[in-house]
């Protein structure tokens, strides 16, 4: 499946809403919340778009002023695109975007019963460090996980003038 990654635009709100409905049984964002994330929040929204222009994944990073920690606020991959490496690719791009904003750490919460997502995060270097009882609307607990981000690569000194 060919796909591209790009920044989310206000015009993507309906496509993200539909993706949320395909990916989550509860704790979905409303159109209003998605519109805020796309237009007003101190956030980066990266979308994975298939060759037919359908949004097949997205991730949202939130940033706080004067903080070196970015928060992976939302992350989902269309069920039809799972198992293709898209989750890893999207997460790597989000990590680079966080580094580009000066973040040194990436924090997230994940449903305790979502073994697939937890496996991806662990493979990508995240460590579960805090249990959150009754975190989701349906009463499910969550793990808070984080990862230290490597500093962006410095330009090669040999290529400097």
Domain range annotation of the chain: 3-153
Q: Domain 3-153: give its CATH architecture.
A: 3-Layer(aba) Sandwich (3.40)
| Residues 31/74, Cβ–Cβ less than 8 Å | no
Give the mean model confidence (pLDDT) for residues 133-157: 81
pLDDT tens-digit map of 61-72: 999 999 999 999
pTM over 0.85: yes
**Cα separation values, 126 from 55, 117, 123, Å:** 26, 11, 7
The whole-angstrom distance between residue 78's C-alpha and the CA centroid of its chain comes to 13
The span from the CA of 147 to the CA of 154, in Å, is 20
pLDDT for position 154: 44
pLDDT tens-digit map of 76-101: 999 999 999 999 999 999 999 999 99
pLDDT tens-digit map of 6-47: 999 999 999 999 999 999 888 889 999 999 999 988 999 999
Which of 31, 29, 160, 147 has the alpha carbon at shortest distance from 98? 147
């Amino acid at each position: 499946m060919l796909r591209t990654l790009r920044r989310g635009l206000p015009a993507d709100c309906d496509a993200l809403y539909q993706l949320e409905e395909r990916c989550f049984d509860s704790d979905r964002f409303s159109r209003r919340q998605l519109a805020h994330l796309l237009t007003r929040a101190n956030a980066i929204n990266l979308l994975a778009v298939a060759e037919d222009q359908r949004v097949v994944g997205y991730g949202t990073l939130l940033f706080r002023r004067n903080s070196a920690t970015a928060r992976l606020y939302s992350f989902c991959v269309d069920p039809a695109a799972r198992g293709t490496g898209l989750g890893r690719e999207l997460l790597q791009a989000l990590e680079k975007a966080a580094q580009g904003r000066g973040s040194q750490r990436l924090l997230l919460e994940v449903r305790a019963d979502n073994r697939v997502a937890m496996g991806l995060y662990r493979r990508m270097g995240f460590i579960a460090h805090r249990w959150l009882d009754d975190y989701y609307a349906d009463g499910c607990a969550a793990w808070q996980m984080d990862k230290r981000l490597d500093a962006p690569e410095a330009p090669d000194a040999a290529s400097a003038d």
